[in-house]
A = this chain, B = another copy of it.
Amino acid sequence: MRQAVLAAAVGILATEGLSGATVAAVARSAGVHETSVYRRWRTRENLILDALTTELDTALPIPDTGDVREDLLRFFSSLARLLAGPQGRALLRLSVEHDDTLDDRRRPYWTERLERAAVMVERGVERGELEPGTDPGLLIEAVSGPLFARVLVSDTPWDDGLVPRLVALTLDGSRPRT
């Protein structure tokens, strides 16, 4: 039942937004009784947060190929795919929508998902592929930030080349290597 209810919640969040994601609507869509949903999650807020977290964890696996560039390409291609689809865009827009009941607990979710990605950079440093002082969070932000900004601020779509170019910029820099 858990998977069916969470999938229904993600579907409704993506199409109707936060205001449409009531326990009644989710229960109806999942074909379960409303009381069963309340028994398991107790509040609408718990249900929504559980749905968002589960969705992001599944859609954003952390690769471990032994090569930092390849790991970053795979991870950020997943993120870009997620954000380019209607569901991912809706999930992101949802995080910046105003809702007093959820605000404090929704914000950290994308951040926590990205913090898990730091390990790819740390492994690259251990293998000597990256400078010892490399800041994992900074590198993750420099690739993910432009994707978030394109969805939220400039509403600019991207082609398959954007992630490789951002990864190359953060690894190789733009100053000549002689």
A141 partner residues in chain B, CB cutoff 8 A: 145-146, 149-150, 166
Q: Tell which of B142, B171, B174 touches A146, judged by Cβ atoms closer than 8 Å.
A: B142
A145-B146, A153-B92 known; A175 vs B174 contact (CB < 8 Å)? no
* Contacts of A92-110 to chain B: CB distance below 8 A: 92, 95-96, 107-108, 110
A147 partner residues in chain B, CB cutoff 8 A: 145
A111 partner residues in chain B, CB cutoff 8 A: 153-154, 156
> Does A85 interact with chain B (Cβ within 8 Å)?
no
CB A147 to nearest CB in B, in angstroms, measures: 7
Number of residues from A at the complex interface, CB < 8 A: 43
- Whether the pair B166, A138 counts as a contact (CB closer than 8 A) is yes
Instruction: Write the A111-137 contact mask toward B (1 if CB under 8 angstroms, else 0).
Output: 100000000010010001111001100
> Does A170 interact with chain B (Cβ within 8 Å)?
yes
CB A31 to nearest CB in B, in angstroms, measures: 32
Q: How far is the CA of A141 from the CA of B145 in the complex (A)?
A: 8
> Does A160 interact with chain B (Cβ within 8 Å)?
no
Interface, chain A (partner B; CB < 8 A): 92, 95-96, 107-108, 110-111, 121, 124, 128-131, 134-135, 138-139, 141-150, 152-156, 165-166, 169-177
